[in-house]
Amino acid sequence: MRALTWHGKRDVRVDTVPDPRIEDPTDVVVRVTSTGLCGSDLHLYELFGPLMDEGDILGHEPMGIVEEVGPGVTALRPGDRVVVPFNVSCGTCWMCSRGLQSQCETTQVRSEGSGAALFGYTKLYGQVPGGQAEYLRVPFGNTLPITVPDGPPDDRFVYLSDVLPTAWQAVRYADVPDGGSLVVLGLGPVGDMCTRIARHLGIPDVIGIDLVPERLERARARGVTTIDLKAHGRELGDVVRGLTGGRGADAVIDAVGMEAHGSPVGRAAHEVIGWLPDVVAAPMMKAAGLDRLGALYAAIDVVRRGGTISISGVYGGAADPMPLLTMFDKQIQLRMGQANVLRWVPDILPLLSDDDPLGVDGFATHRMPLESAPDAYATFQRKGDGMVKTLFTP
Ligand code: NAD
Ligand code: ZN
Ligand code: ZN
């Protein structure tokens, strides 16, 4: 089959690789009909090179048609239409039965200290081949795939694999009080969907922040108040406080992650300065302009005292020191983590209707054959061509 494989930093290729097979009795093989490109793929494309192996198959946002089922699969039949969650979770362990599928104890990658295995995330998360491919082997066929109805286009359901539950969890974890305000940092696919869900759930004041003009415009067109980081980066805290009664936002979602200081200089500076005590580090960060580069620092600044920060962007270890004294003094509530995909599906599925309150039908800005994936990665990396969400058709 054809699949997108990793070969080096900014070097991904569509190769011919062996077809996946049923290996365990409860495996299914899915013929992928649509598969998304995610900001998380860019971390592998850009940053995690030393941790990867040539030939790793990328991608974790697939849906398609069940092609083959193992002898132990009773919940699915060939021909069923399914979306595959990005966490590889068993559905039956202690964590899964409590809705913490991202911490599945059956697939947890203990050696790395991380959570459940993930599709397409290489040996960092369990070395499970990914879904930017013609076919995908899916374990736990009785509990993991989400069955969706025939009829509507793939666009209606494909975001159940990641973007929708990730954004849903981010908004729920933000815990905005009635009538309150929410800032969303980053208006990529995840942040953009957070603003849609927040408005749908009745949060009156939603403020979106980014620096890509098309992304700001897209959020503005759906009624979100936007702030252009390029124009207001320096005084971001003051601008947000000006919009929120002087105190700051009740909650902030960080839908940026480590890409905010993805430059080698930014990362190196964080690593050096970050080990110093806050009182010394904070003014140095400010002087070096790093306080406005790091979305997490912006979140800590713009949230009100006693407010909540909900982190869905992915950060990488000690390169992201936290100003704990400031956070303690402001009594900030902090929540984060990979989305527990299956936990939120029952809440989200009813919204994937013909009324389309979240606008999923028109959410993708680009759709292209899998063969064009290397170009799409490059365009998405530089935030070019108005690209927000891309779906590949294998
Ligand atoms: P993306 O890279 O398209 O989005 C990031 C956005 O942040 C971009 O629009 C960028 O212009 C903007 N940005 C950069 N620096 C900023 C700053 N300082 N302030 C405000 N905005 C800034 O990717 P995405 O697909 O939307 O994913 C966003 C993050 O969410 C990534 O880190 C991704 O790995 C993570 N993610 C997490 C989960 C989860 O389960 N928690 C799931 C999916 C994605
Ligand atoms: Zn994703
Ligand atoms: Zn489990």
Asked whether 212 lines ligand 1 (CB < 6 A), one says yes
Alpha-carbon distance of 106 to 93, in angstroms, equals 7
Query: How much is the pLDDT for 294?
Result: 74
pLDDT at 144 over 70: yes
> Any idea which of 213-222, 320-329, 333-342 has the lowest mean pLDDT?
320-329
Give the E-state strand segments of 222-293 in sequence order: 225-228, 249-254
Q: State in Å: Cα 326 to ligand 2 middle.
A: 31
Mutate to test the pocket of ligand 1, among 160, 193, 224, 259 (most ligand atoms within 8 A of CB): 259
Query: How much is the pLDDT for 292?
Result: 44
Q: State the average pLDDT for the chain.
A: 91
Cα atoms in the Cβ-side hemisphere of radius 13 Å centred on 279: 1
Q: Residue 263: how many CB atoms within 10 A of its CB?
A: 11
| ipTM (interface predicted TM) | 0.99
Give the number of the ligand closest to the Cα of residue 312: 1
Asked whether 256 lines ligand 1 (CB < 6 A), one says yes
- pTM across the whole model: 0.94
Residue with CA closest to ligand 1 atom 3:
188
Residue with CA closest to ligand 1 atom 29:
313
Q: State in Å: Cα 286 to ligand 2 middle.
A: 32
Asked whether 162 lines ligand 1 (CB < 6 A), one says yes
Asked whether 339 lines ligand 1 (CB < 6 A), one says yes
Angle at the Cα of 236 from the Cα atoms of 233 and 239, rounded to 5 degrees: 135
Asked whether 172 lines ligand 1 (CB < 6 A), one says no
Q: State in Å: Cα 170 to ligand 3 middle.
A: 21
Q: Which two tokens stand for residue 316?
A: 């990488």
Asked whether 252 lines ligand 1 (CB < 6 A), one says no
Residue with tokens 């003014």: 283
pLDDT bucket at 232, cuts 50 / 70 / 90: confident
Give the number of the ligand closest to the Cα of residue 232: 1
Domains of the chain: 2-162+339-393 (3.90.180.10), 164-336 (3.40.50.720)
% of the chain beyond a pLDDT of 70: 89
Q: State in Å: Cα 97 to ligand 3 middle.
A: 7
Q: State in Å: Cα 40 to ligand 2 middle.
A: 5
Query: How much is the pLDDT for 321?
Result: 64
pLDDT at 317 over 70: no
9-48 residue pLDDT tens? 899 999 999 999 999 999 999 999 999 999 999 989 987 7
pLDDT at 163 over 50: yes
285-306 residue pLDDT tens? 666 655 544 788 889 999 999 9
Query: How much is the pLDDT for 295?
Result: 86
Asked whether 312 lines ligand 1 (CB < 6 A), one says yes
% of the chain beyond a pLDDT of 90: 79
Bridge-based pairing state of the strands 303-311 and 11-16: unpaired
Q: What distance, in Å, lies between the first and last C-alpha atoms of the chain?
A: 10
Task: Give mean pLDDT, residues 151-176.
Answer: 98
Residue with tokens 């390029």: 230
Asked whether 210 lines ligand 1 (CB < 6 A), one says yes
Q: How many residues are recorded in the chain?
A: 394
Query: How much is the pLDDT for 265?
Result: 56
Alpha-carbon distance of 220 to 207, in angstroms, equals 9
338-352 residue pLDDT tens? 999 999 999 999 999
Query: How much is the pLDDT for 262?
Result: 45
Task: Give mean pLDDT, residues 144-157.
Answer: 98
Ligand 2 (single-atom ion) residues, CB below 5 Å? 38, 40, 162
